[in-house]
Amino acid sequence: MSEAPTLERAVYVPVAPPLTDTDDALAALLPALAASPGPVAVDTERASGFTYSGRAYLIQLKTVATGILLLDPIPLSASSLAGLAQALNPKEWVLHAASQDLPALRELGLDPARLFDTELAARLLGRPRVGLGPLLEDVVDVTLAKDHGNSDWSERPLPDDWLSYAAGDVEFLIELADTLKGELVAAGKADWAVQEFDHVLTQPPPAPKPEPWRSTTDIHLVHTRRGLATVRAIWEARDAIARDLDLAPHRVVKDRAIAALAARVTETSTGPGRAALQFREWRRGAARDYPDDFRAAIAAVDALEEADLPSFKAPRGEAAPSVGLWARKNPAAARRWRTVRPVVRDLAESLTVPMENLVAPRALRNLLWDPAGLDPASIEQQLAAADVRPWQRALLGPVIADALTTV
C-alpha cells in the first residue's frame, strides 16, 4: 500500500508595516502604545557575527491596539527613546529567549516591569521543540520564513523582505503566550514560571572572563608559553581594532590565523611567528590596514621576562573543576556526584522539565564538590546561595539530602 502524500505546510509571510525611523513618526505612535491594554510582544534584530557591539538594529513590537510596529533605533534621539521607554516599560513584555534580547534593549533604556518568556515556558512544560519557529508550528499551527535571522542587520537601508521576516517574529507571540500560560496553569507550573521570569529580569550581566583570549580557536596547537603570550597580545590588539571599527573580531582576522602564527613562536623568540604576518590571512580584510598594531603586539611579547609569560593552565577560579577530574582530585565528591546526579535526573524526568532547568549544572557541581554541610537545612542554604529558585529548592533539597545519606 502506498503512503498518503505529506501535505507541506504553507509558509506565512506577514506584510511589514512602514519602518518607523524618525522622532516625529515615533511620537505619533506613543499614545496608542502607552494606552494599549494587555502585553506587548517584543523582539530585536542584532548583527551578531558582523559587529562588535550587541546593539539592536531593529525593534519589533506588537500590541492589540497598534498591531505590528518596526522601529529603527539607530536614528532615534535619546528623548524619543525615553518616551518609548515610558510607554513600554510598565507593561508585561512577551519575548522568546528573553536573555538574548534584554541586554540590547536595556542599552536603549527599555526594561520591562514584567516578563513572559515563551521559550522558557516551553522548557518548563517539557515541550520537545522550544525554538520559536518549531514552537509556533506546534502550538499556533503557523510556519514562519527562516531566511534572514543571520543577516547583517546593521545594513542600511533594510530590505523589505528582511522587514517582513522580522514582523513575523512578533506576529503570533501574544497568542503563543496565552496558550502556554494556560498549559502552565493546567500543569501546576505557573508559579515556577513566574519565579523563572523574575530571575531573568533580575540577573546582572555576566562577569567577563578573566582570560578571554584562552578561548581562541586552535590554541591547543600552541606549545610554548611565549606562544601563548603571542596569542594574548594579538587577541588584545585585534579586540581593540574590532571595538573601534564595530566589527566582529573574526572579521578583522580569524582565530585560526592567530593560533597558526603563535604556534610558530619558540620559547625564546617570536621571530618565526612574526614572519607569518606576510601570509594571506594577514594581508586581506581589516587586518591588512593594521600591520603596525600586530607587529607592535608581537614585539611586546619579545620583551617579556619568563615570569611574565602565561602558564599553560588557565586560572580555575572558585568553581568546581570538570567532573572528569573528580575521581582523582576529590574521590568523595565523585561518589556524591555518582549518587546524586541520577536522582536529580530522574526527578527532572518525572516533572517533564529539562534537568538544566531544574538546577543549573554549575550549581549542582559546586554543591557536590565541596558541600558546607549535608543535612537538609545546609543543602537548602547552599542552593539558595547558588541562586537556585524557591520552587527548585523545594523539590531538590529533600531529594539531594536523602540521596547523600547513602554515600
* Residue found under cell 516591569: 113
> Looking at the predicted structure, is the pLDDT value of residue 191 above 80?
yes
Residue 318 belongs to a domain: no
Which pTM value belongs to this model? Answer: 0.92
Shared domain check, 148 and 238 = no
pLDDT for residue 315: 78
> Looking at the predicted structure, is the pLDDT value of residue 206 above 90?
no
Shared domain check, 154 and 84 = yes
Q: Taking a C-beta distance cutoff of 8 angstroms, is the pair 368, 336 a contact?
A: yes
In sequence order, which residues have a C-beta less than 8 Å from that of residue 296 and are 6 or more positions away?
A: 237
370-376 CB contacts, 8 Å cutoff, 24+ apart: 370/320, 370/330, 370/333, 371/336, 371/404, 374/401, 374/404, 374/405, 375/401, 376/401
CATH of the domain at 360: 1.10.150.80
Output Rg (C-alpha) for the chain, integer angstroms: 26
- CB-count exposure of residue 102 (10 Å: 0-12, 13-18, 19+): buried
Residue 304 belongs to a domain: yes
Shared domain check, 176 and 238 = no
d(CA 153, CA 247): 13
Mean pLDDT across the stretch 129-151? 90
Shared domain check, 126 and 31 = yes
Residue 145 confidence class, pLDDT cut points 50, 70, 90: confident
Residue 317 belongs to a domain: no
Q: Taking a C-beta distance cutoff of 8 angstroms, is the pair 108, 89 a contact?
A: no
> Looking at the predicted structure, is the pLDDT value of residue 70 above 80?
yes
> Looking at the predicted structure, is the pLDDT value of residue 298 above 90?
yes
d(CA 167, CA 349): 36
Shared domain check, 303 and 232 = yes
Residue 360 belongs to a domain: yes
Residue 146 confidence class, pLDDT cut points 50, 70, 90: confident
Mean pLDDT across the stretch 69-78? 98
State how many domains the chain has: 3
Indicate the residue among 173, 202, 231 that finishes a domain. 202
Residue 148 confidence class, pLDDT cut points 50, 70, 90: confident
CATH of the domain at 188: 3.30.420.10
Task: For residue 362, give the H/E element and its range.
Answer: helix 361-369
d(CA 196, CA 124): 9
pLDDT for residue 7: 45
pLDDT for residue 399: 96
pLDDT for residue 8: 56
Shared domain check, 395 and 289 = no
Cell of 238: 585585534
Q: Spell out where 51-191 has E strands.
A: 58-63, 67-71, 92-95, 114-117, 143-144
**Which is it for strands 67-71 and 58-63: parallel, antiparallel or unpaired?**
antiparallel
- Of 128, 133, 135, nearest to 179 by C-alpha is 135
To the nearest whole number, what is the mean pLDDT of the chain? 94
Indicate the residue among 257, 274, 308 that finishes a domain. 308
Residue 157 confidence class, pLDDT cut points 50, 70, 90: very high
- Which 8-state DSSP code applies to residue 249? G
CA distances in angstroms from 169 to 13, 83, 85, 115, 314, listed in the order given:
10, 24, 21, 17, 40
309-316 CB contacts, 8 Å cutoff, 24+ apart: 309/225, 309/226, 309/228, 309/229, 310/211, 310/225, 310/228, 310/229, 310/232, 311/225, 312/225, 312/228, 314/211, 314/214, 315/210, 315/211
Residue 93 belongs to a domain: yes
Q: How far is CA 87 from the centre of its chain?
A: 27
Shared domain check, 216 and 189 = no
pLDDT for residue 207: 87
Shared domain check, 221 and 170 = no
In sequence order, which residues have a C-beta less than 8 Å from that of residue 177 and are 6 or more positions away?
A: 39, 41, 94, 116, 118, 121
The domain of 71 spans 11-202
Shared domain check, 244 and 289 = yes
Which residues are paired to 67 by β-bridges? 63
Shared domain check, 235 and 371 = no
Residue 316 belongs to a domain: no
d(CA 353, CA 125): 6
pLDDT for residue 220: 96
pLDDT for residue 6: 46
Residue 4 confidence class, pLDDT cut points 50, 70, 90: very low
Backbone torsions φ then ψ of 104, nearest 5 degrees: -65, -35
Residue 1 confidence class, pLDDT cut points 50, 70, 90: very low
Shared domain check, 238 and 125 = no
Q: Taking a C-beta distance cutoff of 8 angstroms, is the pair 16, 68 a contact?
A: yes
pLDDT for residue 14: 82
d(CA 228, CA 225): 5
pLDDT for residue 5: 46
Lowest mean pLDDT among 109-118, 315-324, 360-369, 370-379: 315-324
> 332 or 10: which carries more pLDDT confidence?
332
Q: What is the pLDDT of residues 6-45, one digit of tens each?
A: 445 678 878 899 999 999 999 999 999 999 999 999 999 9
Q: Taking a C-beta distance cutoff of 8 angstroms, is the pair 43, 60 a contact?
A: yes
pLDDT for residue 324: 94
Residue 6 belongs to a domain: no
- Of 265, 259, 269, 251, nearest to 51 by C-alpha is 251
Q: What is the pLDDT of residues 353-395, one digit of tens each?
A: 999 999 999 999 999 999 999 999 999 999 999 999 999 999 9
Residue 330 belongs to a domain: yes
For the chain, give percent helix, strand, coil, nearest 5.
55, 10, 40
Residue 270 confidence class, pLDDT cut points 50, 70, 90: very high
pLDDT for residue 285: 87
Mean pLDDT across the stretch 204-213? 91
- Of 337, 308, 305, nearest to 320 by C-alpha is 337
Shared domain check, 371 and 270 = no
Indicate the residue among 146, 167, 202 that finishes a domain. 202
